[in-house]
Chain A
């Protein structure tokens, strides 16, 4: 499994560029200027920013607005239970439950809660779990991959077999088993999804470290008596990190998809907390009479993940000059 990496393009990145050109081409500023010229990537970045802003707002808004009852309103004392309008369609259409009203632009769910507001709350879960679990995977994978690639020999063998083992059990199955063991709360979903991302990062950075460790400056540092841990942290990792950053952007999208799948199966944010996967699951009973309730959360996932992919692809093209034209 470790023979070849999927991320082949990174293995030789910079290979087609003359040595002196590399200096000017690998800087962060250069990369950003390249990304800025890519409209698709910038569009992705804007959408990511927008979603993150909503997520941050949704995390604090109960101090500002009274919308939090959209999550828990079943028990809410201020709502009149006789006035609940379940499964309303979007404002511009109608279904067997009545005509849509602009009070609920995207309609209501099976308990009469505003779908749009719940979508906003779902953003909070998707974005936070996406970023945090990817961070866990990135840090864990980078350490494992760098140590493995730097020391080589039996340490490499042991670590890589461990990584392969993690990779061999399907992500979703592993996270489900993990959550069954430790708890169905969101925090375990976060940790679980982080752990399953370790192999991706570990292999990616290892393939880079293997060539970086042969560089003269590493040799020089070693000759000067710098400790290994310091060499790895200060020299090996920073010099192998560019593809990791790109992969991280793409992985956030993957993580959001995995978390949505988990929530769909009932592992993840527990009701009444809103999450997109769970909304899709809740919509299954009513998807014939009110398909809109199924459509919106899926669109939300699609748009968010697509934005991360667009930005990640743009970042990769900018970092890997060979692919540019």
Chain B
């Protein structure tokens, strides 16, 4: 199978997963106790109002009808053409309904918040990779020496520390005691300078954005850093014990060259997989990070939605979380296939 077909197959494979995500989300959300209509209309609504609102949101229909409808509504997520034969109309918009709490379309609310969360997760991974790879390589190179021990202790502590606690400790030290970093909020690097106080031009915005990102990035990235360091170390050790490394040594190739050319490159492959798989942990962790630093991202959105029993919003955010992960995994899987010529495009399975 060629790489093109592999890519297509990989994308098709996600359809059942996406349907599964919608299904789980729909039935979980349906089980949330409390009547959203009651919340919307206040303490003592008239029976007519209730009826009207129920009809407006389609809540008067039986569960399975609502499920099918919802599935059909969100289907454009997968660019499923809404068929109106004989003409096929491609619909790119996604209809996730209207948020009860914010009274705006769910998609609009999510599109406001999603970039913040993605920025946070991306910068956490950049931080993790930039610190973990040198640490892991060094650790493998100086195996069982003090450097290695330090690196291993650091990664052990990293995987064992609750991220939100790291965030609070950082706030105590850097925001309150040293007063060098802001304790709350996040400024997007592409924000409009006119709307941000204390910023006049793009450079200011970028600087502010960077300063605001430092602590949340460390908070969210530490766990990933530790996990990647561990994988990098064991992957490097594995590659350093390969036959071709031994051969290169026997030929008298310099240790530095071996490390760089023979061991380092193949050792990076597992890292790609780990990043894809850990995306789900990082997205979950971003909920905590956003709460600690009062960042208005997807995480705080879903907490608000749950606390206010905003059904459509809970469903929408959960589905988007799932989608981000699925897309992330596809991207890593496909890039893996491009980078590693040995990948047998799935036939090896089972």
Contact = CB atoms under 8 A, between A and B. Distances in A.
A140 interface: no
Contacts of A302: 157, 160-162, 165
A173 B284 contact: yes
Contact of B281 (A8, A170, A177, A264): A170
A289 to B, nearest CB: 10
B287 A265 contact: yes
B325 interface: yes
A127 B318 CA distance: 29
Contacts, number: 161
A176 B302 contact: yes
A164 interface: yes
A185 to B, nearest CB: 13
Contacts of B176: 287-288
Contacts of A17: none
Interface string A277-299: 10010011001100100110110
Given A1-B329, A177-B25, A265-B291, A165 B284 contact: no
Contact of A161 (B20, B30, B285): B20
Centre residue among A261, A295, A301 by max chain B CB count within 10 A: A261
B169 interface: yes
A9 B157 contact: no
Interface stretch (B45-53, B73-81, B125-133, B269-277): B269-277
B86 interface: no
B149 to A, nearest CB: 11
Contacts of B314: 177, 180
B17 A164 contact: yes
Interface in B323-350: 325-326, 329, 333, 346, 348-350
Contacts of B273: 4, 6
B340 to A, nearest CB: 10
Interface in A1-21: 1-4, 6, 8-9
Nearest to A253: B160
Contacts of B165: 280, 294, 297-298, 301-302
Contacts of A180: 28, 32, 306, 314
B303 interface: yes
Interface in A135-187: 152, 156, 161-162, 164-174, 176-178, 180-182
Contacts of B346: 3
A76 B285 CA distance: 38
Contact of A295 (B31, B169, B281): B169
Contacts of A294: 165, 168-169, 172
B172 A291 contact: yes
A177 B318 contact: yes
B284 A172 contact: yes
Interface residues of A, number: 53
A102 B20 CA distance: 56
Interface in B259-284: 270, 273-274, 276-277, 280-281, 283-284
Contacts of A284: 168
B304 to A, nearest CB: 12
B306 A177 contact: yes
Contacts of A1: 276-277, 329, 333
B20 A261 contact: no
B160 A181 contact: no
A309 interface: yes
B285 A172 contact: yes
A237 interface: no
B325 A170 contact: yes
B161 A3 contact: no
A302 B274 CA distance: 23
B31 A165 contact: no
A274 interface: no
Contacts of A173: 283-284, 287, 302, 317-318, 321
Interface in A235-286: 253, 257, 260-261, 264-265, 277, 280, 283-284
A172 B28 contact: no
A306 interface: yes
A176 B303 contact: yes
Contact of B288 (A152, A162, A182, A265): A265
B298 to A, nearest CB: 9
Interface in B136-191: 156-157, 159-165, 168-169, 171-172, 176
B198 interface: no
The 7 closest A-B pairs by CB, nearest first: A165-B20, A172-B284, A170-B284, A298-B165, A181-B31, A306-B160, A305-B160
Given A168-B322, A177-B318, A302-B165, 8 more contacts: A1-B277, A169-B325, A177-B28, A177-B29, A253-B159, A261-B164, A298-B162, A305-B160
Interface of B: 16-17, 20-21, 23-25, 28-33, 156-157, 159-165, 168-169, 171-172, 176, 234, 270, 273-274, 276-277, 280-281, 283-285, 287-288, 291, 302-303, 306, 314, 317-318, 321-322, 325-326, 329, 333, 346, 348-350
Interface of A: 1-4, 6, 8-9, 152, 156, 161-162, 164-174, 176-178, 180-182, 210, 253, 257, 260-261, 264-265, 277, 280, 283-284, 287-288, 291, 294-295, 297-298, 301-302, 305-306, 309-310, 323
